[in-house]
Structure 1
Amino acid sequence: MSIKSQIKPKILYSCYYSRSREGEHFIPEHVFSYQISGEMIVTDNQNTFHSKPGDFRFSRRNHLAKFTKIPPAGGEFKTISLFLDQEILREISKEHNLKADKKADTNAMFSLAPNPLYQSFMESLISYLEVEEENNETLFNLKIKEAIHLLLKINPELKDILFDFNEPGKIDLEAFMNKNFHFNVQMQRFAYLTGRSLATFKRDFQKVFQQAPGKWLLNKRLQEAYYLISQGNPPSEVYLGVGFEDLSHFSFSFKKKFGIVPSSLNQK
């Protein structure tokens, strides 16, 4: 069983009573998060990030990630996430003349050192979130702004991340897709993250891989799944990891390609 309480799209207070391995996520905005209880394991295409109770973390926009949420024994998984949207950041940038001075070279997600100001801010926010009231949009916008100023005060180096409004530039398509094929996101997301329109992405993809994106992705994911299952990993875990949403669809596609059901690989 799981519960999510979302206040508009900008502040998310999550509660889970059972382990949850969610599907792939495109992170469209910077996110400032606090782990109240339980643990979060996040994997991007390079690193695995482990968040424990009391941890603060920052997630950069325009990245792909997979999330596993683990509640404590007999308890609840709880987090608060604040989405620092571009509209509010542009408003603060204009009002205070804040701009990125250089391109920040950091991971998609990283820890923020504990700080009493972060702690008191999150505790004050919890009290608002636990009261069921409507029409709090103005209040929560103010809390987002407060969070941004707090981040800048405690971690001034975040300025180069928060106020970098550039969109992804055109990058090497082959290298990107071979790193990120296991993320189950819409084709438009892949196109955007490689700095292309959807039409240009499809055209470039055909030139590079000699296949349409959908067909290539299916074959790539199935090949990866075959390898992982042959190494002893259960199909019930593999299908999500390689980018399928549904186990039955994965099993059907696997049998169609290889002539056997996935579970039979572990019986050889």
Structure 2
Amino acid sequence: MEYQAKYITEDIKLSCYEDKFFKSDIMFEHHMLVWFLSGETKIVQADGTYIFQKGDTFLIPRNQLATIINYPKDGLPHQTVVMHLTTEWLRNFYEKIKFKPQTGNEQKIRHYNNHPLLQSCLSSLIPYFDMKELPEDIANLKITEAVSILRAIDPTIDGILTNFEEPGKIDLATYMEKNFMFNMPIEKFGYLTGRSLTTFKRDFKRAFDTTPQKWLTRKRLELAHYQFVEKKMKPIDVCYEVGFENLSHFSFAFKKYFGYAPTKLLTAGN
């Protein structure tokens, strides 16, 4: 995979993928503000699928599970400017303006639909990526500008940016039924449901009477079957969206579980 990244600091980068596509299942440790220069991204979350492309600006809240698929488009690489809004930075920012943290806002992706103020802020970063010596404190100033713009154009954004709480203990069965398609380490599922690894495994066994890996594989294959039959999706798309890492492993597991290959379903539907 041909991947390049240029950094102003570890929290501001210019990211570029040259390959056909790049796929990853991730949990966002920090809020991410992203501006598209070229290419296309498909973000699959439990509540739906989002597609972003050239000119789009969006914010992804932290502690969210997602499958990210990046594509080049129109002969251009997948290229974005990414700004991490860390909890530490946001705490300091809101303390200075004497704003009390909030909770309760829905932690969903925010799309700012080519907003000129955000685009101007993020596009002004481009020259800095090629500079060897940067003006002092430039990164902090640009992040401050970006957050100030977000607060001006989105009255509800403070409820997301000032939610500094870590995941608390929640109902494991409900969470897993909603998020099984994300290929996360078991430790991450434990963290997001407010449990240690040992407690997660114990509670999982109590809820589903099997191991996490067996249950996850079954649920992902059943979802794949549904997508083939009901949505007529292609194997390569189904493979990545239900939590498998490569097509050959997915095809093998599907045939072992159902007794026939995915292609049989597609042929039967024609």
Same fold (TM over 0.5): yes
Tell me how far 1:18 sits from its aligned partner. Answer: 4.8
Tell me how far 1:144 sits from its aligned partner. Answer: 2.5
Q: Distance in 2 between matches of 1:37 and 1:95?
A: 36
Residue matched to 1:196: 195
Letter in 1 for 2:243: G
Tell me how far 1:193 sits from its aligned partner. Answer: 1.6
Contact 1:71/1:77, CA 8 A, preserved across alignment = yes
Q: How does 1:18-37 map to 2 (within 5 A)?
A: 18-37=19-38
SS in 1 for 2:42: strand
Structure 2 spans left out of the alignment, 5+ residues: none
Q: Distance in 2 between matches of 1:135 and 1:206?
A: 53
Task: Count residues with an aligned counterpart.
Answer: 266
Q: Distance in 2 between matches of 1:161 and 1:28?
A: 14
Tell me how far 1:96 sits from its aligned partner. Answer: 2.5
Cα distance, 1:74–1:89 mapped onto 2, change above 3 Å: same
Residue matched to 2:16: 15
TM-score (norm 2): 0.85
Tell me how far 1:245 sits from its aligned partner. Answer: 0.9
Residue matched to 1:75: 76
Contact 1:29/1:86, CA 8 A, preserved across alignment = yes
Residue matched to 1:256: 256
Residue matched to 1:55: 56
SS in 1 for 2:156: helix
Q: Distance in 2 between matches of 1:110 and 1:193?
A: 21
Residue matched to 2:90: 89
SS in 1 for 2:23: strand
Contact 2:44/2:241, CA 8 A, preserved across alignment = no
Question: Which range moved further: 245-254 or 133-142?
Answer: 133-142
Residue matched to 1:122: 122
Tell me how far 1:186 sits from its aligned partner. Answer: 1.1
Q: Distance in 2 between matches of 1:24 and 1:126?
A: 28
Letter in 2 for 1:181: F
Letter in 2 for 1:146: E
Residue matched to 1:218: 217
Structure 1 spans left out of the alignment, 5+ residues: none
Tell me how far 1:30 sits from its aligned partner. Answer: 0.8
Q: Distance in 2 between matches of 1:73 and 1:115?
A: 23
Letter in 2 for 1:213: P
Cα distance, 1:136–1:257 mapped onto 2, change above 3 Å: farther
Q: Distance in 2 between matches of 1:115 and 1:218?
A: 41
Q: Distance in 1 between matches of 2:249 and 2:73?
A: 32
Question: Which range moved further: 208-217 or 166-175?
Answer: 166-175
SS in 2 for 1:83: strand
SS in 2 for 1:204: helix
Q: Distance in 1 between matches of 2:77 and 2:235?
A: 28
Q: Distance in 2 between matches of 1:172 and 1:12?
A: 37
Tell me how far 1:267 sits from its aligned partner. Answer: 4.3
Letter in 1 for 2:249: H
Query: Could you give the per-residue CA deviations for residues 52-87 of structure 1, whole angstroms, max 9, x where no partner exists?
Result: 322221111111122233433222332111010111
SS in 2 for 1:170: coil
Within the alignment, does 1:228 sit opposite 2:227 as a pair?
yes
Cα distance, 1:253–1:127 mapped onto 2, change above 3 Å: same
SS in 2 for 1:248: helix
Q: Distance in 1 between matches of 2:187 and 2:111?
A: 30
Q: Distance in 2 between matches of 1:85 and 1:34?
A: 17
Q: Distance in 2 between matches of 1:219 and 1:172?
A: 21
SS in 2 for 1:233: coil
Tell me how far 1:145 sits from its aligned partner. Answer: 3.2
Tell me how far 1:126 sits from its aligned partner. Answer: 1.0
Contact 1:234/1:263, CA 8 A, preserved across alignment = no
Contact 1:98/1:159, CA 8 A, preserved across alignment = no
Q: Share of identical aligned residues, percent? A: 38
Cα distance, 1:206–1:37 mapped onto 2, change above 3 Å: same
Tell me how far 1:137 sits from its aligned partner. Answer: 9.4
